[in-house]
A and B are shown apart, each in its own frame.
Chain A
């Protein structure tokens, strides 16, 4: 069994597992962090961005490079359509992939890069919410990029990486970065997804069984159990033990696996999600009281549902219930709609509301009462008339490089009354804000990441008791910005831990010993068992093997089929056993019994000699030697004397036990 790591980001994972000749991709996450190196794409042309000074390496005049790089407050940005770093393409041929398993909607954004124009012919498995909400994420991303096209694409800066300032010079292989896919590629890629339910047993070419189990992280998020007859691999990616809106994590089936691959732990290990939520509510209320607006850059689904719920009730309690909340995303209506029909994927409390029947999330009600208003875009009908200040605006994209958030930052950036609150942990907030500096609007960092933290993960590992644990390399050392926090790692004591990072392949020593087959009952009836020790019986079988869809059946051999392929002649002396009833001898030869039997058969001139390893019996008259050892008997005899040989054989077989 081998595991390949194709992604550098443990929260946007991409692995390939080779097991029983099946090639299985686990997640295909796309980190949008490369986008941070690019200038924002404003909806309305921004003179500030347009007038940023061009940047050139010192003592270099490269005409081709002209216009590619711009500087803002000491940071250099690429002025071009943003590019993304897809999973490594040189480790595995994507056309070989049989199955892709997707854990949740946030780790599938590279799917079109994998399945489109690569010769991919496999099948993709994901839960219904993963498909529906993943579609929203993909469509939103594509629309954000496409609504603000850039005329030319910068590429020459990639040739002079060594001359560029940090962090641009540290970019990983920027030449492999790619422009985002097209909407048509998204559609065709999603059409390959086969929807699965939790605890549904999927058969992969008869060789493996694959099951999704709830991971508690977001709507429809799943961990995967990949098993053969006797081996089990658990892939745990993006799990949460906190109680929010999704179905709770299911741990039972993950227990006692041969291999546990663990990834997608919290990106903000020092921030407690509940505390952060509290701080966010306070910050919002404070800003609103001061007549400022709040911008919360967000993804179109996920924690944002909890924010609507908590914030609206907090505002009610702070007598700010007249403040409107705006949710702006090309897929806002779909996101709000879908979340309320996916009851079967929700926590029990939310699920029980459906039986009343009430909508599981309060945002439907908030929309009905006008507290929460949603628009596709800032220029959608009604937005400018409905817009009132102060207000709370939820919109994308959290990287602040594209989407409507760019517009609000540009608009509100120089007013200290307003606040931008960062909740999504995917992007370092200072990096996100870098191209907008100097900024006078307040910025608050309240990352809410419900994924497992290190304490929870270590506890989980102890409970799951895997034989082998595989974790991203970054989990074996404390995070760079908390280098002294030695508790922020995965425990490696008392357990076999393998770490892996992008570009690496590890062999997982899972020794497969047994496979399950089915034995046909008529054959079973004819089996002749010999008890060799109390409780242990042996039976020699020669039978037909029938293999279909990687499933084996053992059947009786049809009579007309010779066990041994045809031979022209091979006389059968009578009483000769056919191989169908072939037996194996075992145990030690009882010399006294053997000699006695020889005498009975008229061979009385046996001369027995004892040596180191056993006995040598010499039949002088017949010129035959029998060498008897503990585990073997060897008869050397004249070729011509078949009668004697068969006689000896019979005697010997009478003296030995067999099965």
Chain B
């Protein structure tokens, strides 16, 4: 048995700073290299000292794979490559490669300029880091070295999100990153073929949730928004600049258009146009609907959504503002939140998951008062709504994915422990699969059956095939192959005995036995042979009995009749040593007869 080892450095029974080390076939692969939004100290990065206490990691890691551009999946990448030291290959999809540096830069600015974090990577580091990235396309089989192969699958979730299959020899692992099994307004659903990996590492953010239909959620969302603006309130929707923001913009834009609403909608991202441009450029990564219509009408040209300016915060009257970041942990959304929170006619809608420690997480858990580092406190009187718009697979989706790819083991990451526990039981029950959920730093070992690839000479296979096909079809009949395995250097090859001798450069020594039996039969020898032939056919069920030129053959056993027309016939039975059992029993049959009836 061989093994696959998985060690989560982040995202083990936790959400945030995804970073999973997989050991497979002697290769070490790092899956994602994210940061934790809930922390400002060293805990925000995965504990890379776990791999090696000090110094660069290049010789310990064969490759790094980034599943998508969210910072909890790629946020620590410049830290890894430029600060800790890693110069090996890094893989991600084209859209991820395009968008990740923008988000990294955004986060860096907030961390360094607003929070005054000194020990953080620089803009130049982000650029240098991205230069080391190799972009991959979907379904491309990329050989990292001559044993390690990776292949990306569409994952939905955000633009360019991918699941990765990692194969070394006969072992394989699929890592889902974050994925979404239901298409939304701009992205398609995740898809994978029946690749039967030894292990599926899946996210489990919504391990216990089964969400109602998207349409209902959208209707609820619009209802809440309109209720609030009808009473003159302000709606704050914290989002990340890329991803859910675009989906909500499409939703709001079409609704405003249809209902002919006049309330201003603002999208507060400096790079709105730029962000939307990425979506236009990578439209092949969006869903069928957007793809089909983009030439006539690009979904990302919004009619009702205007850029936001900070001075609008204090504007009177109703408005809807989408502002980053999505978990209210810093930046503009938090700034707006502080201003609007004390007013009960206002509303904040959290459209996605919030990591423990963020303001978003606190208010979702009903906190009525938030304390900030500057000892400033804010009363939360505004209504707080949670709409699960983040595009993660729910429990149903996770089960669906397991069904799609038929793994032999499942490992849960990127979720909360209790919820994982529940899903784990469900997976065991429904699929009868072993399911694991290691915590950070905990090693999980999965044994995999081990297959030995060998060569077979084609003539041997073909001979077996024609023999098998000559038999009446019966699925219960086991197909049997007989040959000689030649072990030479490190190659294993099964061949026919004569081929094997030739390959080994030796001569076979054939031992043959011939015995004579005397039988009484008045008919000519050819008739006697025919009679014997019939007899053998009857007695030796399942054997291939042949009659040519008056001699009967059964495997290597030959039976020949000689003598004149008189009664006495000499019957010669001859067989090779390998057919001793058969030959001797045929001899016995003949001996016990004495005469042919």
Q: List 24 A-B contacts (CB under 8 A).
A: A197-B139, A200-B140, A333-B295, A341-B280, A342-B284, A343-B281, A357-B278, A516-B456, A518-B453, A519-B451, A519-B454, A521-B1, A533-B505, A536-B486, A540-B482, A541-B482, A567-B585, A577-B580, A585-B511, A586-B507, A633-B509, A633-B510, A634-B514, A639-B587
Say whether A544 contacts B479, CB under 8 Å: yes
Q: Are B278 and A533 in contact (CB under 8 A)?
A: no
Select which of A341, A521, A542, A546 is within 8 A of B451 by beta carbon: A521
Q: Which residues of B contact A589 (CB under 8 A)?
A: 509
Most A CB within 10 A of own CB, among B452, B485, B578, B585 = B485
Q: Given the complex, which residues of B lie within 8 Å of A535, measured CB to CB?
A: 488-489
Answer whether residue B138 sits at the interface, using C-beta atoms and an 8 A cutoff. yes
Interface size on A, residues (CB 8 A): 97
Q: Are A566 and B542 in contact (CB under 8 A)?
A: yes
Q: In the complex, how many angstroms separate the beta carbon of B585 from the nearest chain A beta carbon?
A: 4
Q: Is B295's CB under 8 angstroms from A357's CB?
A: no
Given contacts A357-B98, A554-B454, A634-B514, contact A547 B479 (CB under 8 A): yes
A-binding residues in B (CB < 8 A):
1, 94, 97-98, 135, 137-142, 151, 170, 274, 277-278, 280-284, 294-295, 449-458, 461, 464, 478-489, 492-494, 497, 500-501, 503-517, 539-543, 573, 577-578, 580-582, 584-585, 587-588, 590-591
Given contacts A355-B97, A357-B281, A589-B509, contact A514 B493 (CB under 8 A): yes
**Closest chain B residue to A658 by CB distance?**
B509
In the bound assembly, the distance between CA atoms of A196 and B375 in angstroms comes to 57
A200-B139, A567-B539 known; 11 new pairs, CB 8 Å cut-off, are A197-B138, A341-B284, A342-B284, A519-B452, A554-B481, A567-B540, A570-B581, A583-B578, A631-B507, A634-B511, A649-B511
Chain B residues near A519 (CB-CB < 8 A):
451-454, 492
Report the 9 A-B pairs with minimum CB-CB distance, sorted nearest first: A565-B542, A337-B295, A639-B515, A545-B479, A537-B487, A200-B139, A545-B481, A519-B452, A632-B510
Given contacts A521-B451, A538-B500, A586-B507, contact A514 B456 (CB under 8 A): yes
Contact (A541, B577) CB under 8 Å given A341-B280, A586-B508, A632-B510:
no
Could you tell me if B461 and A567 are in contact, using CB atoms closer than 8 angstroms? no
Cα A588 to Cα B449 in complex, Å, equals 42
Across the interface, name the chain A residue whose C-beta is closest to B479. A545
Q: Does A491 contact B (CB under 8 A)?
A: no
Closest residue of chain A to B589 (Cβ to Cβ) is A569
Nearest neighbor of B275 in chain A, beta-carbon distance: A357
A587 to B506, CA, bound (A): 7
Closest chain A residue, CB of each to CB of B587: A639
Q: State whether B506 touches A518 (Cβ < 8 A).
A: no
B591 touches A639 (CB 8 A): yes
Interface residues of A in 514-534 (CB under 8 A from B): 514-521, 524, 527, 529, 532-533
Is A568 in the interface zone, CB < 8 Å from B?
yes
| Chain B residues whose CB sits within 8 angstroms of the CB of A571 once the complex forms | 585, 588
Q: Tell me if B274 and A357 are in contact (CB < 8 A).
A: yes
Q: Would you call B479 and A584 a contact (CB within 8 A)?
A: no
> Restricting to A639-657, which residues have a CB under 8 Å from any CB of B?
639-640, 642, 645, 649, 652-653, 656
Closest to B140 in A: A199
B339 → A minimal CB distance (Å): 33
- A344 is an interface residue with CB less than 8 A from chain B: yes
In the bound complex, residues from chain B placing their C-beta under 8 Å from that of A344 are 94, 135, 137, 284
B-contact 0/1 string along A251-291, CB 8 Å cutoff: 00000000000000000000000000000000000000000
Whole-angstrom distance between the Cβ of B177 and the nearest chain A Cβ: 18
Say which residue of A338, A579, A642, A652 sits within 8 Å of B584 (CB atoms).
Answer: A642
Given A199-B142, A354-B94, A569-B585, A649 and B577 contact (CB-CB distance below 8 Å): yes
A595 within 8 A of B: no
Cβ–Cβ contact A635 & B514, under 8 A: yes
- Bound-complex Cα distance A659 to B457 (A): 18
Closest Cβ–Cβ distance, residue B164 to chain A (whole Å): 14
Closest CB in chain B relative to A560 CB, distance in Å: 10
Residues of the B chain whose Cβ atoms lie less than 8 Å from the Cβ of A354: 94, 98, 281-282
Q: How far is the CB of B394 from chain A (nearest CB, A)?
A: 28
CA distance A125 to B277 in the complex (A): 31
Inter-chain CA distance A89–B97, complex, in Å, is: 48
Q: Which of A198, A514, A572 has the most CB of B within 10 A?
A: A514
Please pick, from A518, A540, A546, the residue contacting B454 in the complex, using a CB distance under 8 A. A518
Complex alpha-carbon distance, A354 and B458, angstroms: 50
For residue A512, which residues in chain B have a CB less than 8 angstroms away from its CB?
Answer: 458
In the complex, A169 has a CB within 8 A of chain B: no
Query: With A357-B281, A521-B450, A584-B578 given, is the CB distance from A538 to B504 under 8 Å?
Result: yes
Tell me the smallest distance from the CB of B408 to a CB of chain A, in Å: 16
CA distance A587 to B508 in the complex (A): 6
> Nearest Cβ in chain B — how far from A56, in angstroms?
50
Contact partners of A587 in chain B: CB under 8 A: 506-507, 509
CA A577 to CA B581, docked complex, whole Å: 8
Once bound together, how far apart are the Cα atoms of A582 and B510, in whole Å? Answer: 14
Whether A636 and B514, one on each chain, are in contact in the complex, defined by CB atoms closer than 8 angstroms, is yes
Of B281, B478, B508, B585, the residue contacting A544 (CB under 8 A) is: B478
Shortest distance in angstroms between A255's beta carbon and chain B's nearest beta carbon? 15
Contact A541 to B485, CB < 8 A, known contacts A199-B140, A586-B509: yes
A544 to B482 CA separation, bound complex (whole angstroms): 9
Q: Are A585 and B577 in contact (CB under 8 A)?
A: yes
Chain A residues with CB under 8 Å of B274's CB are 357
Residues of A within 8 Å of B481, CB to CB, are 541-545, 554
- Bound complex: CA A357 to CA B582 (Å): 79
Q: How far is the CB of B328 from chain A (nearest CB, A)?
A: 28
Min Cβ gap B62→A in Å is: 19
Contact bitstring A204-236, B, C-beta under 8 A = 1, else 0: 000000010000000000000000010000000
Q: Are A585 and B509 in contact (CB under 8 A)?
A: yes
Return the contact of A518 from the options B284, B452, B464, B485 (Cβ within 8 A). Answer: B452
A162 in contact (CB, < 8 A): no
User: Nearest residue in A to B93 (C-beta to C-beta)?
Assistant: A344
Closest to A584 in B: B497
A631 / chain B contacts, CB cutoff of 8 Å: 507-510
Assuming the contacts A359-B281, A634-B514, A649-B577, asked whether A521 and B507 have C-beta atoms less than 8 A apart, the reply is no
Neighbouring B residues of A586 by C-beta, 8 Å: 501, 506-509
Q: A576 at interface (Cβ–Cβ under 8 A)?
A: yes
A538 to chain B, nearest CB (A): 5
Q: Which residues of A contact B140 (CB under 8 A)?
A: 197-200
From the candidates B483, B506, B507, name the one contacting A533 in the complex (CB within 8 A): B506
Which chain A residue has the least Cβ–Cβ distance from B94?
A344
For B588, the chain A residues whose CB sits under 8 A away are: 571
Contact yes or no, A576 B581, CB < 8 A = yes
Q: Which residue of B lies closest to A200 (CB)?
A: B139
Chain A hits for B510, CB < 8 A: 585, 631-633
Expressed in whole angstroms, the minimum distance between the Cβ of A548 and any Cβ of chain B is 11
Which one of B151, B497, B542 lies within 8 Å of A567 (CB-CB)?
Answer: B542
- Which residues in A have their C-beta under 8 angstroms from that of B541? 565-568
With contacts A518-B453, A566-B542 known, is A639 near B508, CB below 8 A? Answer: no
Instruction: Give the Cβ gap from A542 to chain B, nearest Cβ, in Å.
Output: 5
Among residues of B, the one whose C-beta sits closest to the C-beta of A585 is: B509
Minimum CB distance partner of A335 in chain B: B295
Q: How far is the CB of A494 from chain B (nearest CB, A)?
A: 30
Q: How far is the CB of B276 from chain A (nearest CB, A)?
A: 10
Contact A652 B480 (CB under 8 A): no
Q: B486 near A538 (CB under 8 angstroms)?
A: yes
How many Å from the CB of B77 to the closest CB on chain A? Answer: 16
- Contact between chains at A649 and B280 (CB < 8 Å): no
**Complex CA–CA separation, A516 to B461 (angstroms):** 11
Q: Check B139–A196 contact: CB distance below 8 A.
A: yes
Which residue on B lies nearest to A631, using beta carbons?
B507
- Asked whether any CB of chain B lies closer than 8 Å to the CB of A605, the reply is no
State how many angstroms separate the Cβ of A246 from the closest Cβ of chain B: 14
* Chain A residue nearest to B130 in the complex (CB): A355
Would you call A417 an interface residue if the criterion is a C-beta within 8 Å of the partner chain's C-beta atoms?
no
A541 touches B494 (CB 8 A): yes
A513 at the interface (CB under 8 A from B): yes
